[in-house]
Structure 1
Amino acid sequence: MNWQGQTVMITGASSGIGAGFAEALAARGADLVLVARSADVLQHTARRLRAAHGVRIDVVVQDLTAPGAVAAVRSATEQRGLTVDALINNAGFASAGRFHEVPADRVNTEVALDVAALVDLTTAYLPGMVERGRGAIVNIASIAAFQPTPYMAVYGAAKAFVLSFSQALWAENRRAGVRVTAVCPGPVDTGFLGVVGTSEVRVGRPRQVGYVVERALRAVERNRPVVTPGPENAWVPLVSRLLPRRLVAAVTGRSLRGAVDAPSAARVPTAGSLTAGFPATEH
């Protein structure tokens, strides 16, 4: 797939994996629409990428969990005369803790961003791609999508939805010229787990953002429905299919329980933190 001259929308583009996609795609000559809540960070990123690569960068400052958020994003692109050729649904966050202790409004916000906003944005831009006979949708899932995830129950379930949704759309659209890929990384060195409040939920060594982004773009270019960046992650889908689900859930739960039971001194307090001291963060 040639990204030169394509207009790519990236959500959660102010940091982490989203910022990595912005850097890589601008270097490939793509014009970008960066969506996130952080106006100052987005504007700084846009100025830097314009200067470095000579591409068009549009900024849409929007909280995707707000009522009417996706309609506002779509209106912004229409008013600017932009055709979104590819969509990278990266915005998302995790909460950690026993589900019954997590505030209901935090659970609802997590589902709204990790699931509903992703579906709504896909609904907004996929029809145009199909009509034009070309395009790409990249959905950031997680290695957690392949098994139940006790103590991060909503996050794991949300990413399982993203994985299944992406695979279904790939099958529907693979002959329509639209590529759909779910990216399922393991730990990524974005500060994600640090802000969640513990490194104990990490299984395996964290990968650099650039590594994950390059593997993801390669998968899109090859029209692969799923990619698990890093050879150490390739076994997870296989093991999750072969072993009984109750065993997988029990083993995963044991590996994550320490994160919930860790002393409060080891946790990282931040604004908007969850019950038991586990904050939420974007990819």
Structure 2
Amino acid sequence: MERKNQYALITGATSGIGYELAKLFAKNGYDLVIVARNHEELEVKADEFKKFGVNVISISKNLFIEEDAYSLYADLKLNGISPEILVNDAGQGVYGKFQDTDIHREVDIVNLNIISVIILTKLFLKDRLEKGSGKILNLASIASKAPGPWHSVYHGTKAFVLSWSEAIREELKDTGITVTALLPGPTDTDFFNKADMNESKILEDKDNLAPAEEVALDGYNALMNGDDKVISGLKNKLSVAMTNIATDSMAAHRMGEMQKPVNEK
């Protein structure tokens, strides 16, 4: 493996798709800046990634908080680090009917899934534009393609991420910086647990969940190719194709039936 002497900055790097992506970057010779809330977990993962012979900097930040997104880049500047790659992976959902869910939790999710992502991307671009190179991978979801009853705020945040990623990609087309959106479907991670979603019909058959490492590899390859977006998995490609030919209300109904609690009529 050849050391690239380039840093990849990855949020949500201690579990799920973010962890698998960090491993891929390390295997391919990229130094890492890994970001998550839990300091101990970060240290464990940093030791693991260092075994690939790369530098690993772990920074504990809570990206539910706007200031932490800004201070992350301030910390990098102090260390003279300019990441060549930004992976906005950290994201969460909250499950339930909107009328019943906790508004504070939902505001947190908007802060994490949208606000921290646009702040980090803005700071990355300010840093990279003069250098004329860089790659951004934003975690959207096939949830970005259809309204999601029982998971409405999460679907809304991912629709934002996809639309905005495609817009700034167009703005950046002559700069040497590419923007790629990764659209996984249901994936075998801790996401559903964190979203209190274990009662959802979507989890009735665990075999429907994609392995996180497959999703990460699809995202990594699309990023390296400079693709605009990638839907991970054939089943998800078919699902998005069906959504595209349905009306919005039909797509919302279909998604609602898939996601409602098992015991809900």
Q: Give the TM-score band, short-chain normalised.
A: over 0.9
Contact 1:96 1:260 in 2 (8 A): no
Whether the 8 Å contact between 2:66 and 2:116 is mirrored in structure 1 is no
Q: What's the counterpart of residue 200 of structure 1?
A: 201
Displacement of 1:3: 8.2
1:173 corresponds in structure 2 to: 172
Unaligned runs of 5+ in 1: 263-283
Deviates more, 1:69-78 or 1:192-201: 192-201
Cα root mean square deviation, aligned: 1.8
Whole-angstrom CA distance in 2 between matches of 1:178 and 1:8? 14
Taking the aligned partners of 1:3 and 1:84, their CA distance within structure 2 comes to 15
CA contact (8 A) 2:66 2:115 kept: no
Aligned to 1:243: 246
Q: Give matches, 1:52-131, under 5 Å.
A: 52-131=51-130
Q: Is the 8 A contact 2:82 2:128 kept in 1?
A: no
Counterpart position of 1:11: 11
User: TM-score, structure 1 length as denominator?
Assistant: 0.87
How far the C-alpha of 1:174 sits from its partner, in A, is: 2.6
Tell me if 1:23 matches 2:16: no
TM-score by length of 2: 0.93
CA distance in 2, matches of 1:245, 1:220: 30
In structure 2, C-alpha distance between the alignment counterparts of 1:53 and 1:257, rounded to whole Å: 43
Secondary structure at 1:182's aligned position in 2?
Answer: strand
Equivalent of residue 226 in structure 1, options 224, 229, 243: 229
- Shift in alpha-carbon separation, 1:87–1:153, aligned structure 2, 3 A: same
Cα displacement string for residues 102-155 of structure 1 (whole angstroms, at most 9, x for unaligned residues)? 111111001000111101110111122222111011011111110000110000
Question: Partner letter of residue 90 of structure 2?
Answer: A
Task: Please say which of residues 146-155 and 190-199 is displaced more in the overlay.
Answer: 190-199
Tell me the CA shift for residue 259 of structure 1.
Answer: 5.1
Distance 2:24 2:123 in 1: 24
In the alignment, the residues of structure 2 paired with residue 133 and residue 260 of structure 1 have an alpha-carbon distance, to the nearest angstrom, of 54
- CA–CA distance in structure 1, aligned partners of residues 77 and 211 of structure 2: 35
Flag structure 2 segments of 5+ consecutive residues without an equivalent: none
Looking at structure 1, the residues matched to 9 and 122 of structure 2 have their Cα atoms a distance apart, in angstroms, of: 14
Pairwise CA distance, 1:222: 1.6
State the alpha-carbon separation in 2 of the partners of residues 235 and 175 from structure 1.
33
| Structure 2 partner of 1:210 | 213
User: Which amino acid in 2 is paired with 1:46?
Assistant: A
User: Deviation at 1:183?
Assistant: 0.5
- Structure 1 outlier segments of 4+, above 6 Å: none
Deviation at 1:236, TM superposition (A): 2.8
Give yes or no for contact 1:139–1:166 (8 Å, CA) kept in 2. yes
